[in-house]
Structure formats: structure tokens, C-alpha cells
Structure 1
Amino acid sequence: MILGNQLLSALRDLNIHRLCIPRRLRCNYYLPQCIAVNLLLGRYVLCLGGFGDRIISRFDNLEVIMSSSMGSIPCDAYLAKPNNCLVSLVPFIDVPKKPRFIIDLSLWSSHTRSEKNELIEQVLASIGTIRRYLWDSNLELTSVTEEFLEGFNKFARGFKYGVIIKRDGPIIDDGAVMLDPEGDCVLNEELIRNTHTFIIGGIVDKERRVKGETARLYGLLGLNVPRCRIELRGSIIGVPDRINKVIEIILMTLFETGNIEEAIIKAMSKRDRVNRLFYELQRAAYRLRGEGSTTLVVPKSMIGRINWVNASNKELELVLRKSRVSVIDDEELSKYLSLGIARPGPLTYRYVSKA
């Protein structure tokens, strides 16, 4: 996003208002950012001239046109492979120095084989996430082992990248935070805006449930920075914990939403939404006393307010089955309350209409 906006400015300074791009260029995020990343990777260069056959996007004063040797639309410049360019231009792109993300892999050897593969996948996904907003050099991998590098290069065969890779531990300056689900401070928008470096443990506990791993890493690295957790309305339940998702939440808060809660909800997977909705429903439901048992119920009017994670109808049905919470009419609940056989749960107060 930052690079894309810089590219638009650079093209404007070069008096380029029509840019032809090749059909093979595939982008699933902001197109100017994608083009800037490809230029930095050296996959393409910017060349004078070119023709295209149709306009595919417009950004401010720039028209992006699909390249075609038989096209009738003249372009001011076009993207080409480095060997296929007669006169190239070099647009000025100032790679941002911050925010900086460090994934430290000191605990690599503690993982199972399956977890190591998962960790490599999350690191690769993190590169993709970084590219949507910044550039590869905003991501550092530290305490990297030979085994990790072999696996990483195997998974990333043919994949160009500019990530900083260090065998030593991280060098931390002022303005750093370590992200830890058991940390003693809560990450908020102000902290995100004022933090230069985010340190993330290269930890996957897919097959092992070990508490305090990030704290152990913190001690191994000899850090003296705040350890902050990402919370969603007072709980870490349902907060995405994949490394790439944690990075996405921070970048989305910085460059899109300005609001960490909105960013977390957008980054949630189906599993995250189901887990959080289960948590909310169990605690928001009324306790209905019966003969020797207690039933959990919620009135229809509360369902929409409880489902603030934007779960789909199928996800909601799944949670209702798993949580064994029954949905009843509001009139039926009123009757039970008047008879004194229904009492609110610990979080019911959050979802009772104030009207």
C-alpha cells in the first residue's frame, strides 16, 4: 500500500499517465502495490512506450492497461522482463524503515516435524501479508538454523524474496514490543502507532500444548521490552494466533481500519469465529432451571447482538449445536423470568437491549 502510493507519485513525476502491464501479472491485492513489489523483486522493469488493448483500472491520473502487441491504445510506459526492455526507467521508491517485524526462531528445535512445516508455511504467508502493505525488508527472521533454511528454501523453491535473514538473535532498539498471548499489557491502537519493532516468537504448538513458550523465548533473548497480548473485548479467545494473521492485524490497524477490534474481526478464520461465538453464547445465555438440570437459552432478539463477530448462518447453527444453547421467543423468556426459574449468565448484561 505504501509502496503502491509511492509508485503512483513516481509515475506522475515521470509524466506517465498510461501504464501497460502484462497479462501474466497476477495480483490479489492493491494493484499499484503489487506492481511496486514486482519492480523491487526485479521480476519486471519499467520501459518506455508500449501498446495495450483495454483499460483494466484507474488510479488518480493513471490508467492501467492490459498489454498487447496488437493493441491500439498507446502507453507511456509498460512492464517487461528485464531482458525485453530497450529503454528502462527507474521510478523512485523509498522503502519504509518501519514498522519492523521480527520472527525469532530460537525455539525451532522444540517443534515436531509437522509443526516445523507449519511454521515455515506461516513465515511464507507472512511475506505475502507484508507485501500487501510494505516490503520484504520490513520482515526479519532471526536465530535461523540450517535446518530451517533448508526447509524454507524447499517450500519456497523459485520464490524471490528480500526478507532479512540472520543466524544471530535480534538487535532491538527503542520502541519495541514483544507479542505474547500471556503478556501483561494489552496491545492497542496507540501502542501500534508508536511501536517501531514488533517481535513475534516463531512458535507453533499444533501438537503440543505448552504454556509460557513466548515467555521462555523472551528470557532466552534477554529482552527488556513490554510483552503485550492482543485481546478482543477482554479475552484472547478467537483472536487469530497464526504469525501471518498477527502481522495482518497490526498492519490492517495501521493502514486500513485504524481500529484493532475491526482488524481482528476481519482477520478471523471460521475456526476463530466459531470459538469466540461459542464463548460468548455460553456466557450470555440465560440459565433455565428444570427438574434436576439446567438448560441454556437465549431469546431471538439477542442473537444478532451476540454475533458481533459476523459469523455466517451455518457457523451460528454449528455453535448453537456445540454449545447446546436453545433459541426461544422473547415472550417465553419473559414468562420464565417472571416465574423466577431463569437467571442471567455472566455476560448476559452485555446483550440485553437498553431500549
Structure 2
Amino acid sequence: MILGKQLLELLRGLGIRRLCIPRGLKCNYYLPQCIAVNLLLGRYALCFGGFGNTTTSRFNDLEVLSLSSMGAIPCDARITKPSDCIASLDLLMDIPRKPHFIIDLSLWDEHTKSEKNELVEQVLASISTVRRYLWDTNLELTNAPSEFLDSLNRFTKGFNHRVIIRSYGPDIKGDAVMLDPEGDCILNETMITGFSTFIIGGIVDKERRVKGETGRLYGALGLNVPRCRIELRGSIIGVPDRINKVIEIVLMTIFETGSIENAVVMAMSKKDRVNRLLYELQRAAYRIRGENGVLLAVTKSMITRINWVNATEKEVELALRKSHVIVLSNDELNKYLSLGIARPGPETHRYVDAK
């Protein structure tokens, strides 16, 4: 995003109002940022001239066309393979120094084989996430063992990157924080904009449930920075724990939403949404005494309020099933309340009809 905006300014300064790009340049995020990343990686070059045949998008006063050798519309410049460009234009981009993300891999050897594979995948996903907003050098991998590097190379055949990789620990510059789901402080928007560096443990515990691993890593690294957790309305339940998702939450808060809560909700997976709904349903449900024990129940209007995580209808149904919460009409619930066999749960008051 930052590089994309810089690119637009640089093109404007060169008098480029019509840019042709090849069909092979596929982007699933902000196109100017994607172009800037590809130029920095050396995959493509910027050259004067070229022809296009179809306008694909516009960014303020820049018209983007599909590059074609048979095109009839002249372009001020084109994006093409370096080998097809006799004299390329060098664009001096101001690479942002912060935010800077450090993934420390000191605990690599303690992972199972499948967890190691998952960890490599999350690191690769983190590179893609950082590229949507910044540049590869805003991501650093520290204490990277040779086995991790071998695995990374196997996963990344044909994949160029400029991520900083070190065999030793992090060299922290500026204000830093370690992101830890068991941290003793809660990360907020002021902290996110104030910190320069965010340290994340390279930890995947899908097959090993070990508490306090990030705290143990913190001690092993000899850090003296805050350890903060990301919460969602007072709980870490439903907050994504994948490394790339944690990075995404921070970046979205800075560059898009300005709100951690909105960023977390946007970053949640189906599993995260269902888990959070499960938690909310069990706390919001009325307790109804029956012959076979206590039933948990909510009304349809309560579900609408409980579903502030924007879950789909099927996800809501799954959460209801897993939480064993039944749905009653308002009349049915009022009957149980009048009989004195129903009582509110600890959070029911948050989701009943406003008076």
C-alpha cells in the first residue's frame, strides 16, 4: 500500500498518465502496490512506450491498460519483462523502516515434522501479508536454523524474496513489543502506532499443547520489552493465532481500520468465528431448568446481536450445534421466565432487546 502510493506519485512526476501492464501480472491486492513489489523484485521493468487495447482500471489520473503487441492505444509507459526492455526506468522508492516484524525461530527443533511444515507455510504467508502494505525487508527471521532454511528453499522454488534472515537473535532498534497470547498487557491502537518493532514467536503447537512457550522464548532471548496480547472484547478466544494473521491484524489496524477489533474480525477464519460464537452463546444464553437438567437457550433476536463477528448462517448453525444452545421464540422464553424456571446467563444483559 505504501509503495503503491509512492509508485503513483513517481509515475505522475514522470508525466505517465497511461500505463500498460502484461496480462501475466496477476495481483490479488492493491494493483499499484503489487506492481511496485514486482519492480523491486526484478520480475518486471518499467519502460517508456508500448500499446494497449483495454482499460482495466484507473487510479486517480492514471489509466491502466492491458499490454498488447496488437494494441491500438499508445501508452506513456509499460511494465514488461526486463529482457524486453532496452532502457528501463529506475524508480527510487523510499522503503519504510517501520513497522518492522521479527519472527524468531529459536524453538524450531521442538516442533513435530508437520508443525515445521506448517510453520514454513505461515512464514511464507507472512511475506505475502507484508507485501500488501510494505516491503520484504520489513520482515525479519531470526535464529533461523539450517533445517528451516532448507525447508524454506524447498517450499519457495521459483519464489524470490528479500526478507532479512539471520542465524542469530534479534537486534532490536526503536520501541518494541512481543506479541504473546498470554502476555500481561493488552495491545491497543496507541501501542500499535507507537511501537516500531513487533516480535512474534515462530511457534506452531497444533500437535503439542504447551502453555507459556512464547513467555519461555521471551526469557531465552533476554528481552526487556512489553509482552502484550491481542484481545477481542475482553477475551483472546477467536483471535487468530497464525503468525501471518497476527501480522495482518497489526497492519490492517495501522493502514486500514484504525481499530484492532475491526481488524481482528476481518482477519478471523471460519474456525475463529465459530469458536468465538460458541463462547458468546454459552455466556449469553438463558439457563432453563428442566427435568433432565439445565438447558441453554437464546432467542432469534439475541442471535443477531451475538453475531457481531459477521459469521455466515451456516457458521451460526454450527456454533449453536456445538454449544448445545437451543433457539426459542420470545413467547416461549417469556413463559419460562414467568414460571421462574429460566434465569439469565452472565452476559445475557448485553444481548437482550434494548428497552
**What TM-score, normalized by structure 2, do the two folds share?**
0.99
Q: How does 1:97-108 map to 2 (within 5 A)?
A: 97-108=97-108
Distance 1:98 1:323 in 2: 42
Instruction: Tell me which stretches of 4 or more aligned residues in structure 1 moved more than 3 Å.
Output: none
Aligned equivalent of 1:230: 230
Distance 2:160 2:112 in 1: 27
Distance 2:210 2:321 in 1: 29
Kindly state the Cα deviation for residue 354 of structure 1 after the two structures are TM-superposed.
2.3
Distance 2:51 2:104 in 1: 47
Distance 1:26 1:275 in 2: 34
**What TM-score, normalized by structure 1, do the two folds share?**
0.99
Aligned equivalent of 2:25: 25
| Greater alpha carbon shift after TM alignment, 80-89 vs 45-54 | 80-89
Amino acid at match of 1:146: S
Q: Which ranges in structure 1 are unaligned for 5 or more consecutive residues?
A: none
Aligned equivalent of 2:185: 185
Q: What is the DSSP-based 3-state SS (H/G/I as helix, E as strand, rest coil) of the residue aligned with 2:141?
A: strand
Aligned equivalent of 1:343: 343
Distance 1:274 1:130 in 2: 27
Q: How does 1:1-355 map to 2 (within 5 A)?
A: 1-355=1-355
Distance 1:131 1:114 in 2: 26
Amino acid at match of 2:93: I
Distance 1:223 1:182 in 2: 16
Q: What is the DSSP-based 3-state SS (H/G/I as helix, E as strand, rest coil) of the residue aligned with 2:157?
A: coil
Distance 1:174 1:139 in 2: 15
Q: Which ranges in structure 2 are unaligned for 5 or more consecutive residues?
A: none
Conservation of the 8 A alpha-carbon contact between 1:129 and 1:244: yes
Residues 62-92 of structure 1 show CA distances to partners (whole Å, capped at 9, x for unaligned) of: 0011000110010000011111112211122
Kindly state the Cα deviation for residue 352 of structure 1 after the two structures are TM-superposed.
1.7
Amino acid at match of 2:199: I
Residues 195-242 of structure 1 show CA distances to partners (whole Å, capped at 9, x for unaligned) of: 100000000001000000000000000000000000000000000000
Distance 2:292 2:62 in 1: 71
Q: What is the DSSP-based 3-state SS (H/G/I as helix, E as strand, rest coil) of the residue aligned with 2:148?
A: helix
Q: What is the DSSP-based 3-state SS (H/G/I as helix, E as strand, rest coil) of the residue aligned with 1:117?
A: helix
Amino acid at match of 2:150: E
| Greater alpha carbon shift after TM alignment, 338-347 vs 218-227 | 338-347
Q: What is the DSSP-based 3-state SS (H/G/I as helix, E as strand, rest coil) of the residue aligned with 2:23?
A: coil
Q: What is the DSSP-based 3-state SS (H/G/I as helix, E as strand, rest coil) of the residue aligned with 1:296?
A: strand
Conservation of the 8 A alpha-carbon contact between 1:99 and 1:197: yes
Q: What is the DSSP-based 3-state SS (H/G/I as helix, E as strand, rest coil) of the residue aligned with 1:281?
A: helix
Distance 2:139 2:173 in 1: 15
Kindly state the Cα deviation for residue 334 of structure 1 after the two structures are TM-superposed.
1.3
Kindly state the Cα deviation for residue 353 of structure 1 after the two structures are TM-superposed.
2.3
Amino acid at match of 1:215: G
Q: What is the DSSP-based 3-state SS (H/G/I as helix, E as strand, rest coil) of the residue aligned with 2:172?
A: coil
Amino acid at match of 1:119: L
Kindly state the Cα deviation for residue 347 of structure 1 after the two structures are TM-superposed.
1.1
Q: What is the DSSP-based 3-state SS (H/G/I as helix, E as strand, rest coil) of the residue aligned with 2:326?
A: strand
Distance 1:110 1:275 in 2: 27
Kindly state the Cα deviation for residue 292 of structure 1 after the two structures are TM-superposed.
4.4
Kindly state the Cα deviation for residue 109 of structure 1 after the two structures are TM-superposed.
0.5
Q: Report the RMSD for the aligned CA atoms in angstroms.
A: 0.7
Distance 1:63 1:320 in 2: 49
Kindly state the Cα deviation for residue 156 of structure 1 after the two structures are TM-superposed.
0.5
Kindly state the Cα deviation for residue 173 of structure 1 after the two structures are TM-superposed.
2.5
Distance 1:270 1:135 in 2: 29
Q: What is the DSSP-based 3-state SS (H/G/I as helix, E as strand, rest coil) of the residue aligned with 1:168?
A: coil
Kindly state the Cα deviation for residue 93 of structure 1 after the two structures are TM-superposed.
1.2
Q: What is the DSSP-based 3-state SS (H/G/I as helix, E as strand, rest coil) of the residue aligned with 1:19?
A: strand
Q: What is the DSSP-based 3-state SS (H/G/I as helix, E as strand, rest coil) of the residue aligned with 2:193?
A: helix
Distance 2:106 2:300 in 1: 50
Conservation of the 8 A alpha-carbon contact between 1:7 and 1:92: no
Kindly state the Cα deviation for residue 30 of structure 1 after the two structures are TM-superposed.
0.2
Residues 170-202 of structure 1 show CA distances to partners (whole Å, capped at 9, x for unaligned) of: 011231000000000001111101010000000
Distance 1:335 1:35 in 2: 63
